[in-house]
């Protein structure tokens, strides 16, 4: 079960990162060119939100099925002293949850705002910051 979750989590990471990047780039291009919000941007925000939440579910499954939660609850001091253990047991999950929350807020603001410029600005700010936080905690050496 752990191996299947791990492979799914890693594979989905590519799709999420591409979707989030495409969302931010399209919103930025539309904003800079003073174009109205397109159906493509709407679709990308939905795809990014769905992929992000799915990625979060796989990640939470890995966290509780895998060794990280057990290590943290059994010997928190050792986990916090060891950089690699702390990275996966605390930093990776915490920052990525915050990143997914920002992506969710960005999609919510996109839906609620009326003005195209404000919608695009919300996507650039929230999804962009969420992507930046998530990218900062991706274990790139394990992804490739």
pTM, two decimals, is 0.93
Please write the tens of the pLDDT for every residue from 53-82.
999 999 999 999 999 899 889 999 999 999
Average pLDDT over residues 18-37: 97
Q: For the chain, how big is the Rg over CA atoms in Å?
A: 17
Give residue limits of the domains in the chain.
2-143
- With CA atoms as reference, report the closest residue to 37 among 106, 99, 92, 111: 111
Q: Are 31 and 121 in contact (CB under 8 A)?
A: yes
């Amino acid at each position: 079960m752990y191996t299947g979750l791990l492979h799914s989590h890693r594979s989905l990471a590519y799709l999420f990162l591409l979707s989030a990047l495409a969302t931010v780039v399209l919103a930025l291009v539309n904003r800079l060119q003073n174009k109205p919000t397109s159906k493509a941007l709407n679709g990308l925000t939905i795809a990014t939100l769905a992929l992000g939440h799915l990625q979060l579910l796989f990640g939470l499954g890995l966290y509780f099925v895998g060794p990280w939660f057990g290590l943290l609850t059994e010997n928190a001091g050792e986990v916090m002293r060891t950089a690699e253990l702390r990275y996966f047991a605390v930093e990776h999950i915490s920052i990525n949850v915050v990143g997914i929350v920002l992506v969710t807020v960005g999609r919510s603001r996109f839906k609620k705002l009326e003005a195209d410029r404000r919608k695009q600005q919300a996507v650039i700010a929230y999804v962009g910051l969420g992507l930046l936080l998530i990218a900062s905690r991706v274990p790139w050496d394990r992804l490739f």
